[in-house]
Structure 1
Amino acid sequence: MSARDLDDGASLALRVRRRLLGDRLAGASLAVLLGVALACLVGPLLTGHPYDRIYYDYPRTPPSLALYPRPGTVEPALARLAFRMRVRAEDVAVGPDAVRLTLAADGPVDARVLTYFARSDLFGAARVLARSGDGTRLTVEAPLRRTRFLAGTDGLGRDLLTRTLAGGRVSLALGLMATAVALGIGVAYGAAAGYLGGRADAVMMRLVDILYALPFVFFVIMLVVFFGRSVGLIFLAVGAVEWLDMARIVRAEAMAIRRQDYVRAAEALGLTTAAILRRHVVPNTLGPVVAFAALLVPRVILLESFLSFLGLGVQEPMTSWGVLIADGARSIETSPWMLLVPACALVATLMALTLLGEGLADALDPRGPR
């Protein structure tokens, strides 16, 4: 690359940066995206809940800042435990950090039944404080397991905040990787077809039309049959299709650009086709390309949701925003937070991507911001 190319690249980057810094809406959108990405990256490590941990005592728990278990739920939980242990819970005293009670039965109480406390999500390992002479009554104490569900739990009792953040990793990674593939293939293919024109353009675009005619779902099913289900397979399937729209958009822009005077001057100076594409055609298509790329990320996320709904996408215990929204939609009447939490994360990301795409389109427009 020549020194002039480096200067052109530096001036383009400087101009884009200056325009973006002057666009407050685009800057706020970029801050939101960085915040969402950072939360999805480190958030699951800070919530205190593994994304696949099932709390059997907390299914469909509403969001709350308070600690669980609530005072009114301890005694019913003890009654359920006593029923499973085939004893009676008597003289229950619930403290701030522990619960004390007497386990009574018609015959001697086996101390091994205390393991039920440790298996519960509400209590820790219990210890015997006193035993009656005939062994029919045990006074025990068990610590309370305090936990918090800021965004509630899902139908199985898994922390929804942790699963939303962990699902954001999958959705954002898939959206960014598929968009990168679409940009890499679509921009190069469309720019070459639009600039070359004639028979080369006709042959290249007929190939695009043939790929458009292939049924996408059938293509994914065939990949699953031969290679099995995986996140990498989704990336391959989506990336192999989404570049087609990008190629058409870039081709239309390239066909208009090749008639400009500066392109004809470059041809008259003897620049090669590759140099003209690199220095004149591709840079002048970046505005609509970036705007489309910003919209392609949410489109890929929604497409992944559709594949997961069909059972061809992300599989349990892994999750994604699409899977969580599909699960929440089925429980919206009884547990609306299961839909609202991942939907709010997705909507915030989509709006930020859209506004940032518009800001980048204006910044990359050689005619200046609109």
Structure 2
Amino acid sequence: MSAAGLSLAGRTRRRLLADPLARASLAVLGLIALACLAGPALTGHAAERIAYDYPRTPPSLAVYPRPETIVPALERLALRMRVRAEDVAVADGTVRLTLASDRPIDERVLTFFSRSDLFGPAAVAARSADGRRLAVTAPVRETRFLLGTDALGRDLLTRILVGGRVSLALGLLATAVALLIGVAYGALAGYLGGAADAAMMRLVDILYALPFIVFVILLVVVFGRSVVLVFVAVGAVEWLDMARIVRGEALSIRRRDYVRAAEALGVSTGAILRRHVVPNALGPVVAYAALLVPKVILLESFLSFLGLGVQEPMTSWGVLIAEGARSIETSPWMLVAPAAVLVATLAALNLVGDRLRAALEPGAA
């Protein structure tokens, strides 16, 4: 089928798929979204699990624990059990040692092994007659931290993927709210025109004049910190630009012949907006919506960086970047890793929005 016979959506899709930059950006976005959805189940770490033995572990492909750290870890574990670790040997992923004490050893202290991040449940291989020596075996828990751990020992890769779910969800939901409110408000104002248009747009100007950060702080004081608060704060502001864009389109569409014909036939205002004004204004709306998603994600990250957004135990890219900024001198990977994912996502979204806007132009090839 020729390009002339395609609908607006069909022509736009064909132009996007013919653009190498758009295809690459869409592929990056798809990989990031898929990783955030399915990745946390594949990393082998729970997002909130604290590994006390691995705080601030740098990124590495190596398997932990490293051989030179096993004996010191066993000595620390024995100290907590108030015994001595002797005759330590490691082979085939299993550690064998003797626990010695001046008094009979209660086997219940072996639960310290299963509570450790390095070893699994311990088993007694032999026991002396007086109970002061126990021959113990325990499996070594092998693990990897591809992007390192944070200050508490939580796997950074898992937290980035889980945080991506929150950041992307907030970006998409807040953009959807901005679309619904902004399109409806702007289309109505532009179609009505006159005094109604002037009054509606003066309200938009007043809301523009409100300092956004002061508005968020007031919401925090009244309602406390939560994800819903971030959603409300962002959604309450970002629809203003959308309303102005749609209002400008509606002002030109209301003078078209097909709109005047509908008015002459007695079609209601709601039906004219739904059938004629909004569909014919969707081109710039879709392009702006694609550019609004990265803007909302960046805004959420900014609020979380200031401590006004997502709070523990939840996380987002903004929260992770804020934590990394506080530890940049000792643990730079805590800042670099989430910032790199955020930059890649924002760059891909902006490129898609820019190419989408070009594809929606009437004269585009």
Q: Which residue of 1 aligns with 2:258?
A: 266
Q: Is the 8 A contact 1:32 1:352 kept in 2?
A: yes
Q: Secondary structure at the match of 2:137?
A: strand
1:47 to 40, 43, 47: 43
Structure 1: tracts of 5 or more residues without a match: 1-7
Contact preservation (8 Å) 1:328, 1:335: yes
Cα separation, partners in 2 of 1:63 and 1:96, compared to 1, 3 Å:
farther
Query: Aligned pair count?
Result: 358
> Counterparts of 1:96 and 1:157 in 2: how far apart (Å)?
26
- Which of 87, 91, 94 aligns to 2:90? It is 94
Contact 2:320 2:338 in 1 (8 A): yes
Q: Which amino acid aligns with 1:338?
A: M
1:64-143 matches, cutoff 5 A: 64-143=60-139
Structure 2 CA distance for aligned equivalents of residues 268 and 280 of structure 1: 11
Match of 2:187 in 1: 191
Contact 1:103 1:138 in 2 (8 A): yes
Tell whether the 8 Å contact from 1:286 to 1:361 is kept in structure 2 after alignment: no
- 183-192 or 323-332, which moves further after superposition? 183-192
Q: What do you get for the CA RMSD once the two structures are aligned?
A: 2.5
Q: After alignment, is 149-158 or 219-228 more displaced? A: 219-228
Contact 2:124 2:136 (C-alpha < 8 Å) held by counterparts: yes
**Is the contact between residue 193 and residue 200 of structure 1 (CA under 8 Å) also seen in structure 2?**
yes
Secondary structure of the residue that 1:102 maps to in structure 2? strand
* Match in the other structure for 1:363: 359
Secondary structure, aligned partner of 2:7 = helix
Q: Which amino acid aligns with 1:212?
A: Y
Q: State the secondary structure of the residue aligned to 2:53.
A: coil
Q: CA deviation at 1:192?
A: 3.4
* 1:200 maps onto 2:191 in alignment: no
Aligned pairs for 1:232-271 within 5 A? 232-255=228-251, 257-258=252-253, 263-267=255-259, 269-271=261-263
Contact residue 305 and residue 321 of structure 2 kept, 8 A: no
Displacement of 1:294: 2.4
For 2:323, which of 323, 327, 330 is the aligned residue?
A: 327
The one of 151, 156, 159 aligned to 1:155: 151
**Cα gap change, 1:275 to 1:77, in 2 (>3 Å):** same
TM-score (structure 1 length as normaliser): 0.88
CA distance in 2, matches of 1:364, 1:279: 20
Match of 2:209 in 1: 213
* Match of residue 176, structure 1, among 169, 172, 179: 172
SS in 2 for 1:149: coil
In 1: Cα distance, 2:205 partner to 2:15 partner: 37
Partner Cα distance (1:152, 1:268) in 2 = 64
Q: Are 2:259 and 2:276, in contact at CA under 8 Å, matched by a contact in 1? A: no
* Contact in 1 for aligned 2:226/2:309 (Cα 8 Å): yes
- Structure 2, gaps ≥5 residues long: none
Identity %: 75
Structure 1 range deviating more: 51-60 or 300-309: 300-309
Are the equivalent residues in 1 in contact too, given 2:50–2:153 (CA < 8 A)?
A: yes
* Distance in 2 of aligned mates of 1:96 and 1:120: 19
Alpha-carbon shift at residue 152 of structure 1 (Å): 1.3
Q: Deviations over 1:33-84 (max 9, x none)?
A: 1221111111111212111111111111112222211111101101111111
1:350 to 337, 346, 352: 346
**Which amino acid is 2:162 matched to?**
A
